[in-house]
Amino acid sequence: MTEQRWWHRAVVYQIYPSSFMDANGDGMGDLPGIIERLDHLADLGITVIWLSPIFASPMDDNGYDISDYQAIAPQFGTLDDLDRLIAEADRRGIKIILDLVVNHSSDEHPWFVDAKSSKDSDYRDFYIWREPAADGGPPSELTSYFSGSMWEFDEASGEYYFHQFSKKQPDLNWDNPAVPEAVHTMMNWWLDRGVAGFRMDVLDLLGKDVDNQQLTAGPKLHDRIHTMNRATYGPRDALTVGETWSVTPETAPLYCAPERDEISMVFQFEHISLTFGEPEDGAPNGGKWNAKPVDPLKLKQVLAKWQHALAGGRGWNSLFWNNHDLPRAVSEFGDDSEHRIRSAKMLATILHGQQGTPYIYQGEEIGMTNVRFDAIEDYRDIETLNFYNEYGDLGWTHAQRMAAIYRNGRDNARTPMQWSATDNGGFSTGTPWLTVNPNYRDINVAADRADPDGIFQHYQKLIQLRKDHDVLVYGRFTLLLEDHPTVFAYERELNGERWLVLGSFSAERTQVHLPAHWQNTLCQCLIHNTSARGALGQTLDLAPYEAFMLRAEGNAE
């Protein structure tokens, strides 16, 4: 049995601060803008905000390159603004978690500036420096997630430093005990200020063993997370969620089984990786740029596997379709044209019915879509721009590269929030740092919220259902219609209460035969995206992207 924790019942909303709301007209979202829009989130019913980085940063990777972990980037506001945000959110029953980016810092962090100034610097060993290989080249052949080598030559000292992301994001050396010590002090400083936990960036990289080229899930990883837990958030009942691209159903409990005192839950990407194709030879992040269509059968099998793997107190899942690195949910897994509204609600229903903590990415609650800019100059993301250059050298045409960016570029998620049909979607009175998706005249918060059949109200209901019905939080999950190619159906059961959650991933009408124990059942329909269903027969005739949650009430005969 699962011991109950407050974050089991939480619904998290992720804010990408530069794109949420611009209060001062400089084209960049900010903390006062978030405060202005807290009522939107309170109305939605979410209980936690994950704030993507708001710290001082040269913004080479939009804040995932931090130059001062205890200062706010001036374009986002001040520490006072953050204190105010914490207090204003708290008044609405919403907690704030921060993004903990400590696999690397910015190269403009004083630690790195000092480290680079001399081999004798007290901070030299905060980072990872190696002699060149015998031929003078980099110490090893490792390709950065953002293109190029993971090693950058430093003329002054004649050594290379290690960076898994951009060269402006040098990796911190977790083998040096002074690094965790400094990080723990910083974390406690934020916890004392009232933050409720952390989203932990690339958590599975903290155990890296660079010389043996074991970068993910390295040998010291779990010791380090456990030590961090004990020294900081563990005794404070925080929510901690680890971004873990490498985690498997077998290794997940190492992170999030309660008795291990590491983190609350993993954020795993196996369902996302299903959309990746074959990597290009020698090119970074190959699979994502060769994306393939999603197979709904595999998708539901993977999600069900994770449901089973962490059930019964073995761990806890994060449930998500998208974030700031991924394409928009409705564009990737639904239909962002004819069936946009219905498929967005279907995805939401299927996600919120599972066991785990749901994560909603800003704009998802109104069905925001991917974007297509004609010119590469309109894009801002470092990964996208490096991809465009590097794959040009590999012979990909402009059209091929743009098609890949339309499908999987990170700026799909980062175009500003669409609040209204007014200029710039009501996001800013200035010139937005990244152009607003031109479809804002049709797709925006004001229009969607005014529509009783809108997506926002569907999310509102789903969140309320999770608050009202323990079966959605703790009920046993069983996959139904296992081999059906396009219908994802499952049951949740708690103390004799049985729910059926179903979503069709097809644009066609689809017939399914219900499992025997759901045939001829009288049901109460808790939520749907097409029309309410009551008494079930033997078969169901489903509309395109139909979805619902039903509670069994008795026998229909």
Contacts of 135 by beta carbon, 8 Å cutoff, 6+ apart = none
Decide: is 165 part of the binding site for ligand TEU (CB under 6 A): yes
- Rounded alpha-carbon distances, angstroms, from residue 451 to 370, 455, 458, 527: 22, 8, 11, 16
What is the token pair recorded at 121? 């610097």
Q: Which of 245, 251, 305, 479 binds ligand TEU (CB under 6 A)?
A: 245
C-beta separation of 265 from 357 below 8 A: yes
Which DSSP helix (H) or strand (E) runs through 80? helix 79-91
Report the nearest approach of ligand TEU to the CB of residue 196 (Å). 20
- Which DSSP symbol is given to 48? E
Q: Which of 71, 138, 145, 234 binds ligand TEU (CB under 6 A)?
A: 145
Q: Is 363 left (phi over 0), alpha (psi -120 to 50) or beta?
A: left
Residue 335 is a catalytic residue: no
Residue 402-421 contact track with ligand TEU, rule CB under 6 A, x = bound: --------x-----------
CB atoms near residue 245 (< 10 Å): 17
Q: Please give the residues from 190 up to 209 whose contact with ligand TEU meets the rule CB under 6 A.
A: 201-202
Comparison of 15 and 550: residue with beta carbon closer to ligand TEU: 15
Report the nearest approach of ligand TEU to the CB of residue 393 (Å). 19
DSSP per-residue string spanning 383-434? HHHHHHHHHHHTT--HHHHHHHHHHH-THHHHSPP---SSGGGGS-SS--SS
Q: Which of 443, 464, 439, 465 is nearest to 454 (CA)?
A: 443
Report the nearest approach of ligand TEU to the CB of residue 368 (Å). 18
C-beta separation of 260 from 226 below 8 A: yes
Q: Please give the residues from 169 up to 188 whose contact with ligand TEU meets the rule CB under 6 A.
A: none
Q: Please give the residues from 35 up to 64 whose contact with ligand TEU meets the rule CB under 6 A.
A: 61, 64
Comparison of 14 and 521: residue with beta carbon closer to ligand TEU: 14
Comparison of 57 and 529: residue with beta carbon closer to ligand TEU: 57
Please pick, among 201, 262, 335, 383, the residue that the annotation labels catalytic.
Answer: 201
Comparison of 129 and 165: residue with beta carbon closer to ligand TEU: 165
Tokens 């979805």, located at residue = 547
CB atoms near residue 172 (< 10 Å): 25
Comparison of 240 and 349: residue with beta carbon closer to ligand TEU: 240
Tokens 């985690």, located at residue = 247
Q: Which of 229, 285, 521, 529 binds ligand TEU (CB under 6 A)?
A: 285
Report the nearest approach of ligand TEU to the CB of residue 361 (Å). 12
Residue 243 is a catalytic residue: yes
Please pick, among 99, 159, 243, 390, the residue that the annotation labels catalytic.
Answer: 243
Comparison of 60 and 365: residue with beta carbon closer to ligand TEU: 60
Decide: is 107 part of the binding site for ligand TEU (CB under 6 A): no
- Give the catalytic positions in this structure: 201, 243
Point out which residues bind ligand TEU (CB under 6 A): 61, 64, 101, 145, 165, 201-202, 243, 245, 285, 288, 324-325, 383, 410
